[in-house]
Amino acid sequence: ARITLRQLLDHAAEHGYGVPAFNINNMEQGLAIMEAAAAVDAPVILQASRGARSYANDIMLAKMIDALEQMYPQIPLCMHQDHGNEEATCATAIKYGFTSVMMDGSLKADAKSAADYEYNVDITRRVVDMAHWVGASVEGELGVLGSLEHGGGEQEDGHGIEGPVSHDQLLTDPDQAVDFVRATKVDALAIAMGTSHGAYKFSRKPDGDILAMKVVEEIHRRLPNTHLVMHGSSSVPQHLQDEFNKFGGEMPQTWGVPVEEIVRGIKHGVRKVNIDTDCRLAMTAVFRKIATSNRSEFDPRKFLKPAMDAMRDLCRERFEQFGTAGNA
């Protein structure tokens, strides 16, 4: 059954669990997530980026979600737009059956600029007005995702921020978070605490200097009723890096967000945890393995089915670790 992000995260807050939001681009990822959810009775958030929508086509994606819902009627399912960049992206997502949208007004944000803060508030509030009229939820974002370790902001389109940027300018400011939530009425707030998208988040196991979970705690203390969202929350597990590299991959050693840090966040108001990279890596490590170890194989299903199984196992693990299991 399809539910909104607000309905799901209210339940998660009441029962003290977090919900992984897995990115979906194709049938195999959809099946993997739903199989995992059904195995452990977990509600799901499927999220599609703009890239996913153009890769799969909106009609295909919408029908795929309908099919997954029909296959798993017992699983509460929230369909979410990941990183909407403008009002039209959010409006068309809702038209295609998404029950939740992210209006990422921080995509454009220069951490230092008051004008960009006003832009973020204005556009997010307009999307909230529109979405709430038709019963959809909205996630906003405040702060700049990017590595504290490298001392520079990474805008989410991959371009760096000009000039030196201090820690404080990257991390979400708790005072501003209070103002932003009040002004926009968002259902969930994505905050910046030192994570970044992709596999290369940290060049060592992160400590409090580079992964600022204290910011999460402080914002939760100030906004106890706001559902917090962590982006860039892949853990980039060592065993997947090893498997990928064992079969000809060339991924330099990297560290993601340790699961125990996410679990700590969940104790402090984090309710939605975005994961894409781990799913990609779980699948492509299997592709590499089969391509290398069975060189005569050319049936795509012989690659895709075991890749799907690997992604399913990863999703199931996160449902269990975040306490999502048993809450469908």
Is residue 82 annotated as part of the catalytic site, yes or no? Answer: yes
| Catalytic one of 10, 58, 82, 187 | 82
Give the span between the Cα atoms of 183 and 260, in whole angstroms.
33
CA Rg, the chain, in Å? 19
Pick the closest to residue 77 from 21, 159, 152 (CA basis).
21
Does residue 197 interact with ligand 13P by CB under 6 A? yes
Start-to-end CA span in the chain (Å): 10
For residue 124, say whether it is annotated as part of any ligand binding site.
Answer: no
Q: How far is C-alpha 225 from the geometric centre of its chain's CA atoms? A: 20
81 beta partners = 48, 101
Does residue 289 interact with Zn ion by CB under 5 A? no
Give the span between the Cα atoms of 202 and 242, in whole angstroms.
17
For residue 323, say whether it is annotated as part of any ligand binding site.
Answer: no
Does residue 82 interact with ligand G3H by CB under 6 A? yes
Pairing of strands 44-48, 77-84: parallel
Report the residue number, 97 or 198, with the smaller CB distance to ligand G3H.
Answer: 198
Q: Which of Zn ion, ligand G3H, ligand 13P, none lies near 233, with the C-beta cut-off 5 to 8 A by kind?
A: ligand 13P
Kindly write out the interface string for residues 230-269 of this chain, putting x where it contacts ligand G3H by CB under 6 A and - elsewhere: ----------------------------------------
Does residue 277 interact with ligand 13P by CB under 6 A? yes
Cβ-in-10-Å burial (0-12, 13-18, 19+) of 1 comes to exposed
Q: Which of 6, 227, 231, 280 binds Zn ion (CB under 5 A)?
A: 231
Q: Which of 49, 92, 176, 245 binds ligand G3H (CB under 6 A)?
A: 49
For residue 45, say whether it is annotated as part of any ligand binding site.
Answer: no
Give the span between the Cα atoms of 5 and 100, in whole angstroms.
6
Q: How far is CA 320 from CA 23, 38, 39, 225, 314, in A?
A: 18, 12, 11, 24, 10
Q: Which of 12, 24, 31, 52 binds ligand G3H (CB under 6 A)?
A: 52
Which tokens in the block code for residue 74?
Answer: 């017992």
Q: Which of 82, 139, 154, 173 binds ligand 13P (CB under 6 A)?
A: 82
229 beta partners = 190, 272
Does residue 25 interact with ligand 13P by CB under 6 A? no
Which tokens in the block code for residue 219?
Answer: 């914002």
Report the residue number, 197 or 220, with the smaller CB distance to ligand G3H.
Answer: 197
Residue reference for tokens 């992160």: 206
Q: Which of 1, 15, 16, 51 binds ligand G3H (CB under 6 A)?
A: 51
Which tokens in the block code for residue 50?
Answer: 């703009």
- Residues between 221 and 250 that touch ligand 13P (CB under 6 A): 231-234
Report the residue number, 52 or 101, with the smaller CB distance to ligand G3H.
Answer: 52
Give the span between the Cα atoms of 288 and 8, in whole angstroms.
36
Binding site for Zn(2+): which residues? Answer: 83, 104, 141, 197, 231
Q: What residues act catalytically? A: 82
- Residues contributing to the site for ligand 13P (CB under 6 A): 23, 82-83, 197-198, 231-234, 274-278
- Residues contributing to the site for ligand G3H (CB under 6 A): 23, 49, 51-52, 82-83, 197, 276
Binding site: which residues? Answer: 83, 104, 141, 197-198, 231-234, 274-277
